A and B are shown apart, each in its own frame.
Chain A
Amino acid sequence: MTYLKSRRFIGAAFTAITILSITRTITGNGDLTSTVTIAQALVFASPIALAGLAGIWAERAGVINIGLEGMMILGTFGAGWAGWQWGVWAGVLAGVAFGAIGGLLLAVAAVTFGVDQIIAGTAINLLALGLTKFLAILLFTDAPGGGQAQSPPIKGDIPTFTLESIVEPLTALHEKGIFFVSDLAGLVAGLFYHLSLLTIITFLLFVMTSYLLWKTAFGLRLRSAGENPWAADSLGVKVVQYKYAAVVFSGMLAGLGGAYLSIASTIYRNGNTAGRGFIGLATMIFGDWRPGGTAAGAIMFGYIDTLRLIDTGNQNVKGLILLGAIILFAIGGIMLRKAKRNSAIGFLVLGSVMIGAYFSATSFPPEVAQVAPYITTLLVLATASQNLRPPAADGVPYRKGDHH
């Protein structure tokens, strides 16, 4: 990590905490930055982050993985099926293995047979959805505690850790409500409160990916398959093998994400993924096909999900709307400085509308709550994606000896 990079990271974190802090102060809603909220956000963020990481592996090797959702579904099923019978760690392994099968399927279709990658991925999504529904009826209907659409409870728990010595004083500090300081305290305490071993594994997988893909010869070759496979081939890189390895590992990561979901809700349930594979894909794009940015995007989604789900008295939704407005104003300001007048006006007007809504309404229908954060995300994505640098040969079918 260079000096410049770490400075940018600290700057971004500082800005994010400041915006959160302002929102928390105006709304007077301590939940926005509380220990529990952050801890829960990590739980919601991890499966999305794993899906995003899975996307990075496949697409860095030049294979678009629209099938992430399907591979996650396979993972949720594997975890429920094996976890119910042989315990939670068997569930994790089965989730990874099932995901790997999904990945292998995509690799065979997209790499060996050169099938259009969007179509192959979509087929895997449909196949996984139908297959797991069918198998659930077949395997879980008569099982004790199971049903047509859900597995019996998974046996055992993943260990979680709480560092009392950090969490207690920081949580106390959070409750004092001091601008910035208390919010920072709540955020940090949340990282060490009921921290699941799976979340730690997720974090380590991100570190490992950064190292493997960007610091080793293996990573350079894998990425060359996504940038210019013909050049890689001309230098003796076995492109097909790297693509296979990347796509299968991508499936394993997505499967792990699915297993995480099932374990977090203690059972396999039809439709438990609820599009998280696609959200993972979006965070990968948001993160410019890099682990750091992808993790940040996943945490953002996890945070929004958390606020929506632990909402009491409709206050969090109001908070989110204000948060969205502040972000829009911030982007509008940046646009103004860059002399992009039209976009700036757009952002400022939208921000004003949201501010107006915040102050005029006492409560919001939950539908607004569900949509508002995503609209904000979409706008952030739209601005961020101006400078993205996707792998140059992402999605391009590769045949040995073709081209030039």
Chain B
Amino acid sequence: MAQNVLAVELAGIWKRFPGVIANSDINLKVTAGTVHAIVGENGAGKSTLMKILYGMQKADEGTISINGSELIFSSPSDAIDAGIGMVHQHFMLADNFTVLENIVLGSEPKSGGKLDFAKARQQISDIAAENGLAVDPDILVSELGVGDRQRIEILKVLYRGAKILILDEPTAVLVPHEVDELFNTLRDLKKEGLTVIFISHKLDEVLSIADEITVIRQGTTVGSVNPHTQQVSARDLAEMMVGNELPTPQSVGDTIRDEVVLKVENLSVFAKGGKAIVDDISFQIRAGEILGIAGVEGNGQAEILDALMGIEAATGTVHFKTEDISKKSTRHRRELGIGFIPEDRQRQALLMEAPLWENRMLGHQTREPNSKGFLLNPRGAKADTKRIVKEYDVRTPSIDVLASALSGGNQQKLIVGREMSGDPKLLIAAHPTRGVDVGAQAAIWDHIRNARQAGLAVLLVSADLDELIGLSDTLKVLLRGKFVADADPATVTPQELGTAMTGAGKAA
């Protein structure tokens, strides 16, 4: 490994947006042939910084040096030419294109005027073989899962001859064994002499993969540590990120009461072709109980939640307390006191082009404080939005900005705040802390636990196994639309749970 050669050096980077300073005086040195992690809270300015490094945005001040020479990037092509590649957090893939088409787009091999598909196929399988990234180049991307998509993103970057890879929160969408695979790939890439910049807020992962860690807080670099030579714990890093000492989230005692809040019997959801996506499942949740569902995404979780909310057609019966709500409308269910945090916040939970206070009304438009009789009550909604912004620490300049102006984690905090309003009896939550940083995550957990104390029943779906184990009173493993195992959250480990999720074995 070549020591002390700087692959990337950023000096004095400033970036201002109207009303916000995203980056202030950022200094970063990345040694060639290492995995360098950048950690920070949501909205700390990590993503902006990487966009600057990748030429998607221009810094107001400061310099970028690649392999010792100072460069100016005015578009991603400049960055690509300098050997930088970016794997985006939200995959940048065209679903209707094949894997091959997605990889070669923009730098296609040609023979005559024609795109040389044979050569492209050869090049891709060569690169794939070298780095242990198996893919079928002729399959449509729409047919692939997240793990495969991420491999394609990495291949895209390698195909362009990148020597410096930026990965923006690459593990956020992966299950544990996929994370292990990714890390093996990254170690291989490092052996090949590539430099990896790894953005994350999952500190355990960062500690296991990074050679050097730089912490960003409120738009500026606050320090770097080397986990090989210095003793650092996830907790130390978290405190550097947040700037003060963290509360310790501990599970509280048994709060489960006798009253059954949700009783589901023989619930099934069918796909267009008649295949059962959710296959005849039954369960119940009592007041003060959190039931966690573990499973690899796409095994029917989204359909269960949508069916319970009356969004998706389903067979079977659903009782809320004593009332049969199987045939009731979504609005009726919400008015009974069912809160819903959906999987895809931009598609199901928010109007991106509406201000925060209008988003506060969504799904609660018939109830206090959002309406008075027949009319909406904007004043009440605005006041309550301010409360949510304060209680849930939503980082926003005002409640009048559009939802699209917030970072993903802050959007999530707003949604959680909204769904916990109005004293819900049942919360149906998918990935309640997805994309949210450690500090805010602990706060959301506390809110949920406090409500549970007061008798809230929760159905929890999460890809974060620590969260599932830490919060749930009861755990069920979902595989291909069926519950295949129960697990005791007091004893099960994330590894055991991950294994059970793939159907490889039974959980403890």
Chain A residues close to B by CB (< 8 Å)? 215-217, 219-221, 223-224, 227-228, 230-237, 389, 391-392, 401, 404
Contact = CB atoms under 8 A, between A and B. Distances in A.
A221 B102 CA distance: 10
A231 B92 contact: yes
Contacts of B107: 235-236
A233 B86 CA distance: 12
A232 B90 contact: no
A235 B95 contact: no
B115 A220 contact: yes
A7 to B, nearest CB: 19
Contacts of A404: 88-90, 92
Given A220-B97, A234-B76, 18 more contacts: A215-B114, A217-B104, A217-B108, A220-B115, A223-B97, A224-B106, A227-B94, A234-B56, A234-B92, A235-B92, A235-B160, A236-B77, A236-B80, A236-B107, A237-B105, A237-B106, A392-B94, A392-B96
B110 interface: yes
B97 A224 contact: yes
Nearest to B102: A231
A401 B97 CA distance: 22
Contacts, number: 75
Contacts of B57: 401
A221 B94 CA distance: 11
A224 B90 CA distance: 17
Contacts of A237: 105-106
B343 interface: no
Contacts of A234: 54, 56, 76, 86, 88, 92
Given A227-B97, A228-B92, A216 B56 contact: no
Given A392-B96, A404-B88, A220 B113 contact: no
Residue among A215, A231, A391, A392 facing the most chain B CB atoms (10 A cut-off): A231
Contacts of B75: 236
B101 interface: yes
B285 interface: no
A221 B92 contact: no
Nearest to A404: B90
A220 B56 contact: no
B318 to A, nearest CB: 26
Nearest to A231: B92
Given A233-B76, A236-B76, A401-B56, A228 B115 contact: no
Contacts of A215: 114-115
Contact of B106 (A221, A228, A230, A401): A221
Chain A interface, DSSP helix/strand/loop, else mixed: helix
Q: Report, nearest first, the 7 A-B pairs whose CB atoms are least far apart.
A: A236-B77, A235-B106, A227-B94, A231-B92, A217-B108, A228-B94, A404-B90
B76 A217 contact: no
Nearest to A232: B105
A233 B77 CA distance: 9
Contacts of A220: 97, 101, 104-105, 108, 115
A364 to B, nearest CB: 39
B93 A228 contact: yes
Contacts of B96: 227, 389, 391-392
5 contacts: A215-B114, A227-B94, A228-B93, A236-B80, A237-B105
B46 interface: no
B15 interface: no
A26 B75 CA distance: 67
Contacts of A232: 94, 105-106
A72 B77 CA distance: 38
Residue among B90, B93, B97, B106 facing the most chain A CB atoms (10 A cut-off): B106
Nearest to A230: B92
Nearest to B104: A220
Contacts of A219: 115
Contacts of A216: 110, 113-115
B482 interface: no
B156 interface: yes
Contact of B93 (A223, A231, A233, A389): A231
A389 B97 CA distance: 11
Contacts of B97: 220, 223-224, 227
A237 B92 CA distance: 13
Nearest to B272: A386
Interface in B61-108: 75-77, 80, 86, 88-90, 92-97, 101-102, 104-108
Contacts of A230: 92
Contacts of A236: 75-77, 80, 106-107
B50 to A, nearest CB: 12
B405 to A, nearest CB: 12
Contact of B115 (A217, A227, A231, A391): A217
Contacts of B115: 215-217, 219-220
A230 B106 CA distance: 12
A219 B105 CA distance: 10
A221 to B, nearest CB: 7
A144 to B, nearest CB: 48
A23 B102 CA distance: 47
Contacts of B106: 221, 224, 232, 235-237
Contact of A224 (B54, B86, B94): B94
Contacts of A231: 92-94, 102, 105
A291 B144 CA distance: 27
B81 to A, nearest CB: 9
A224 B141 CA distance: 13
A272 to B, nearest CB: 36
B225 to A, nearest CB: 30
A223 B114 CA distance: 15
Nearest to B113: A216
A296 B106 CA distance: 32
Nearest to B91: A231
Nearest to B95: A392
Nearest to A403: B90
A220 B104 CA distance: 9
Nearest to A235: B106
Given A215-B115, A224-B94, A224-B97, A235 B105 contact: yes
Nearest to B89: A404
Contacts of B94: 224, 227-228, 231-232, 392
B90 A221 contact: no
Contacts of A227: 94-97
A224 B106 CA distance: 9
A233 B54 CA distance: 12
A280 to B, nearest CB: 22
A227 B110 CA distance: 22
A221 B105 contact: yes
A228 B142 CA distance: 13
Contacts of B92: 228, 230-231, 234-235, 404
B26 to A, nearest CB: 20
A233 B79 CA distance: 13
B398 to A, nearest CB: 22
Contacts of B101: 220
A389 B98 CA distance: 14
A362 B94 CA distance: 55
Contacts of B105: 220-221, 224, 231-232, 235, 237
